[in-house]
Amino acid sequence: MDNKQITKKFFENLFVDNDKAYAVLAEDVVVNWPGFGMDAIVGKENLRKFLDDSGPEKVLDLKMNNILSEGDTVIADGSIITERAGKRETSHFADVYKVKDGKIVSLNSYMVFDKSNDEK
């Protein structure tokens, strides 16, 4: 698999088949959401725990619009529609992945919440 395929495997399986998604993460993967005021999450088991505890209850739609790869860097953008406590939320993202030796070693996810969320 090339770096784009590795990233797509993670993306397409996250919240659907997490074992497949996490199979392409390095054990010590570093995941960050800049601007959210939280520390980076280090380690795939810590990421799993974080998403299990704080992630969406339901993912209604997850779309990748573009994916570009240069060397060990993969950039993807898209949108996600989730449900939490009965409230539907739409977010848009641009993710920057670093891939080494067939595993994702870091992910910075730049997320913007859709203004329409305030109206719901």
Q: How confident is the model at residue 113 (pLDDT cuts 50, 70, 90)?
A: confident
Token pair recorded at residue 100: 């080494």
pLDDT in tens, 51-87: 988 888 888 999 999 999 999 999 999 999 999 888 8
Give SS3 for 24: coil
Q: Which structural domain, as residue segments, surrounds residue 78? A: 3-119
pLDDT at 120: 53
pLDDT at 56: 85
Whether residue 83 contacts residue 60, with contact meaning beta carbons closer than 8 Å, is answered with yes
pLDDT at 71: 97
How far apart (Å, rounded) are the C-alpha atoms in residues 63 and 65?
Answer: 6
Long-range contacts of 78-82 (CB under 8 A, 24+ apart): 82/56, 82/57, 82/58
Instruction: Round the average pLDDT of the chain to a whole number and report it.
Output: 93
CATH number for position 112: 3.10.450.50
pLDDT at 64: 95
∠ CA(84), CA(86), CA(89), 5° rounding? 55
Count of domains for the chain: 1
pTM score: 0.90
Q: Does 119 have pLDDT greater than 70?
A: no
Per the DSSP assignment, residues forming a β-bridge with 110 are 94
